[in-house]
Amino acid sequence: MTAIVCHGPEDYRVSDVPRPTAGPREAVIRIASCGICASDCKCWQGAKMFWGSDTQTAYVKPPVIAGHEFYGVVEELGEGAAEHFGIRPGQRVIAEQIVPCDKCHYCRTGSYWMCEVHNIFGFQREVADGGMAEYMRLPSTARLHVIPDEMPLNDAAIIEPLSCAIHTVQRGDIQLADVVVLAGAGPIGLMMVQVLKLKTPRKIVVIDMSDERLALATQYGADLTINPTRQDARAEVMAVTGNYGCDVYIEATGSPGGVTQGLDLVRKLGRFVEFSVFGKETSADWSIIGDRKELDVRGSHLGPYCYPIAIDLLTRGLVTSDGIVTHEYDLHDWDEAIRSASSMDSIKVLLTPGSTRRGAIA
């Protein structure tokens, strides 16, 4: 089969590899689509946090088939897999990004997304390869969810990032009277806007340097958008909060400036939610967190327990991929696809095996 194999920074190769087979309580799916995530782009670009100083500290352990934003159709079931997963051949399914060990303290106490072993599809192949391929094996500890037949293909393709967006918004503990500032209107940021709107806070403020993405944020429910290249973000936020600052700040830029900006914009006793994956280290004055503002700082990782919610919201039309999924490529067009995903000319780029499209979706 054809697959995108990661060998190192900027060394991802379109390769012919053996098609996987299903062992006991395992499944093989035919990939329908696999999104290119911002973390994939940073990994491809060689961000230090992915590669580390040696193979013991590296998050990525090549060679490995990349891709964690996948879904597909059940092609093969190993012995006992149908009962184990509750699936049948021909169904559309999605597996969560993480492959829990089911043995560590976190897995045994229900916090499987923080698994100590922490294998994630597309980054380490100890358990299984990723979804940038024609077929993919799902090991027995994978967390699978069935996708309704009636769900549009592009909506199904955003279940994984939408789950991350839902978890992040939940971490913000949004209240009706809150002014929420979301920094970063990338694909997941734009999904966060839609989820935030369902929480009905007093005001949703979105900050981004792309006017096109800010226009989409407005379409999805943002009350105020700010382009910091032309507007004073601090003045704008203070103007709508009585000079106190926002109640909740969600950092989704992946830029160190998004962190320091948030510490400035959030009010005393406010909530700061960190979602982004950073390509380099960032630093801030931690006295702001404690001595000056007594902030509640929360992280957000993956989309635990959120896949059924994401599927439900998409099924009911409360969240949409329209405007977010902008480009589609075949696996053989990898070089063009990763360049597009790494640019500001796209929002969400999909790899679809056998696709006849090359580039922007009309």
Q: How far out from the chain centre does Cα 17 lie? A: 27
Return d(Cα 296, Cα 272) in angstroms, integer: 6
pLDDT by 10-residue block (mean), the chain, 362 residues: 96 97 98 96 88 73 96 98 98 98 98 96 92 98 97 97 98 98 98 98 98 98 98 98 98 96 98 91 93 98 98 98 96 96 95 84 67
d(CA 131, CA 136): 6
Q: Which residues pair with 274 in a beta bridge?
A: 251, 299
Name the residue among 274, 270, 290 with its Cα closest to residue 282: 274
User: Which domains does the chain show, CATH number per domain?
Assistant: 2-158+321-360 (3.90.180.10), 171-299 (3.40.50.720)
pLDDT at 279: 76
Note the pLDDT of residue 281: 83
Going by the DSSP 8-state scheme, the letter that residue 194 receives in this structure is H
CB neighbour class for 76 (10 Å; exposed up to 12, middle 13-18, buried from 19): middle
Residue 195 CA to residue 14 CA, distance in Å, equals: 36
Measured CA angle at 125 (ends 114, 12), to 5 deg: 110
Q: How far apart are CA 109 and CA 16, in angstroms?
A: 40
Q: Are 46 and 10 in contact (CB under 8 A)?
A: yes
- What pLDDT score does 55 carry? 59
pTM of the model: 0.96
Give the per-residue pLDDT at 362: 57
Sequence letter at residue 143:
R
Q: Please classify residue 174 by burial: count the beta carbons closer than 10 Å to its beta carbon, then call 0-12 exposed, 13-18 middle and 19+ buried.
A: buried
